[in-house]
Structure 1
Amino acid sequence: MHACDQPTPLALYPFDARGVAKRFRHAAIFGAFDALFPGETMRFCNDHDPLPLLDQLLTRYGDGISIAYVQREPGAIVIDFTKQG
C-alpha cells in the first residue's frame, strides 16, 4: 500500500506528483511548498526517488526545509517536506 493513500493529520498536505505532467512538476512542487506556513508539511508522493529534486529543494530553501522519507520502496516514494520557521 502506498503511504499517500492513508489519512493525514492536520498541517500535513498531500502532493501526489504522479498526476502532474512532468514538465510542470518541479514548478508545482516549489509553488506548493512556498504556500506552506512554518511548521506545515507537504507529503510528496511519487513513483520514483526524486534525487535531483531533493538537491534543488535544498539549494533553494537551505535550512528552511526539512526532508524526511516516510516510504522508500520501488514504485512507492513518500517524502515529507516541512517548512522551517
Structure 2
Amino acid sequence: MTNTTVPNEIDVRSLVPMQRHQKIFQLVDELAPGRKFVLVNDHDPKPLYYQLEAEHPQQFSWTYLERGPEVWRVEIGRLLKAA
C-alpha cells in the first residue's frame, strides 16, 4: 500500500548556504525508496537538481510545489526503481 501521509517538510532557509547542500544531500542519502520530503528554500534550488542528478542519476523525483518569488517548495523523492 502506498504511503499517503504528508511528506516531511524541511525548511533550510535558516541555515547558512554552505550548510544547506550538506543537509539536503544527507536527507537524500537517507531517503528510502518510495519516500519523499518537501524542501523549502528562499531561492530556486534548480542548481541543486543538477548536482543531485549528476551524483544520483535517475534515482529521485523533483516536483515544484511552489515557485517563489519569496518561497520555493520542491518535493524530492527516491524512486522505487533506485532500490
Shorter-chain-normalised TM-score: which range?
A: 0.7 to 0.9
2:35 alignment counterpart: 40
How much is the aligned-residue C-alpha RMSD, in angstroms?
Answer: 1.4
Q: Which runs of 5+ in 1 are unaligned?
A: 1-8
Q: Which runs of 5+ in 2 are unaligned?
A: none
Query: What does residue range 11-30 of structure 1 map to in structure 2 within 5 Å?
Result: 12-30=7-25
Alignment size in residue pairs? 77
Matched residues, percent identical?
30
1:54 Cα offset (Å): 1.2
SS at match of 2:67: strand
Q: Distance between the aligned counterparts of 1:20 and 1:10, measured in 2?
A: 26
1:30 Cα offset (Å): 0.3
Runs of 4 or more above 6 Å deviation: none
TM-score (norm 2): 0.84
More displaced stretch, 40-49 vs 17-26: 17-26
1:81 alignment counterpart: 76
TM-score (norm 1): 0.82
